[in-house]
Amino acid sequence: MTRMKLQIINGPNLNLLGVREPSIYGKCSFDSYYQSIQSAYPSIDFDYFQSNSEGALIDKLHEVGFQVDGIVLNAGAYTHTSVALYDAIKAISSPVIEVHLSNVHQREAFRHVSLLSAACRGVIAGFGMDSYRLAVEAFVSNKE
Ligand code: DQA
């Protein structure tokens, strides 16, 4: 049986998880969370990519988006601004789940709109780091 391949992609400012606004985003670094999620799903091949640049995120989607079984994408603030990321998600064949640590709908009005959701398989927001695990779980149970 072939192993499931999942790509996790984090966008701008998410390299500062654990340091950045901990009252909103928590005190855990993504690196330590990434280790725990890999241990929790030993049968899945994970890859992790983070960039603060919109173009680098698009390049990564193009690179992996015809190979992996699923992409867990937290595009950070580009969620609310990027037609180019929307087009990139539409252009690839791997399904994408949009995730957010915070419940964006409880926050500033500019965070209530996602330009990406319509291109994504689904959206998970508001569960802190657990949002990523819930997205992985959705891929596992939907076997996409
Ligand atoms: C975020 C929410 C975005 O509005 C914000 O710009 C982020 C993080 C989240 O995970 O809650 O950078 O995507």
Site residues for ligand 1, CB cut-off 6 Å: 13, 74, 76-77, 79, 100-102, 104, 111
- Which amino acid is residue 40, in one-letter code? A
Look at residue 1 in the predicted model and tell me its pLDDT. Answer: 72
Catalytic status, residue 25: yes
H or E stretch including 56? helix 54-64
Task: Answer for the pair 51, 44: CB distance below 8 angstroms, yes or no.
Answer: no
Consecutive 10-residue averages of pLDDT for the chain (144 residues): 94 96 93 97 98 98 98 98 98 98 97 98 98 98 75
H or E stretch including 23? helix 22-25
Domains of the chain: 4-141 (3.40.50.9100)
> Given 33, 78, 86, 100, which residue is catalytic?
100
> ∠ CA(73), CA(79), CA(82), 5° rounding?
115
Catalytic status, residue 105: no
Task: Answer for the pair 74, 135: CB distance below 8 angstroms, yes or no.
Answer: no
Among all chains, which residue has been given the structure tokens 């965070």? 111
